[in-house]
Amino acid sequence: MNIPETAHNLTCYFTWMGEDGIARTKVKPGSEVKLEHAQENSVVVNSFYIDRKYPLLIDARGIRSISRDARNFFTTNGRQTNTLAFAIIIDSSVSRVVGNFFLGINKPAVPTKLFLDEPNAVEWLRKLKE
């Protein structure tokens, strides 16, 4: 995932809106994501468009850990969000744990799917966007 110069450089993430209308967020390698980092990222993600919903591509490769509070927050259950779906790119045991959490224990309020590569994740999000 190439990070554009216009990306928001947050504590644990680079986050931006793609030209294709798909929001993107890439975890910084070795990040230990806590609730305040999840909230910081969500403020940026939800600021892209006020009047419509859009999909979010999450590159979780390289994450070191994510707190329980952050995982609960990211499910979007019980809060407003502009996202209509999550595609999560994984490649490690830690990112697989994060992804399986989303798909199992506390299901997100929006469709969510794990991917091992970006092209398939983007294709799935484009279909949902239409």
Q: Report the run of H or E that residue 86 belongs to, with start and end.
A: strand 83-89
Round the average pLDDT of the chain to a whole number and report it. Answer: 87
Cα distances from 99 to residues 28, 34, 113, in angstroms, run 16, 16, 8
Token pair for residue 47?
């600021």
Q: Count of domains in the chain?
A: 1
Q: What is the CATH number of the domain that holds 72?
A: 3.30.750.24
Report pLDDT digits (tens) over 113-125. 889 899 999 999 9
pTM of the predicted protein model: 0.87
- Residue 76 domain-assigned? yes
3 occurs within a structural domain: no
Domain coverage including residue 79: 8-129
Look at residue 122 and give its three-state secondary structure.
helix
Give the Cα separation of 35 and 40 in Å (integer): 9
Q: Is 53 within the bounds of a domain?
A: yes
Residue 66 forms part of a structural domain = yes
Does an H or E element contain 58, and which?
strand 54-59
pLDDT tens-digit series, residues 74-92: 876 666 778 889 898 988 6
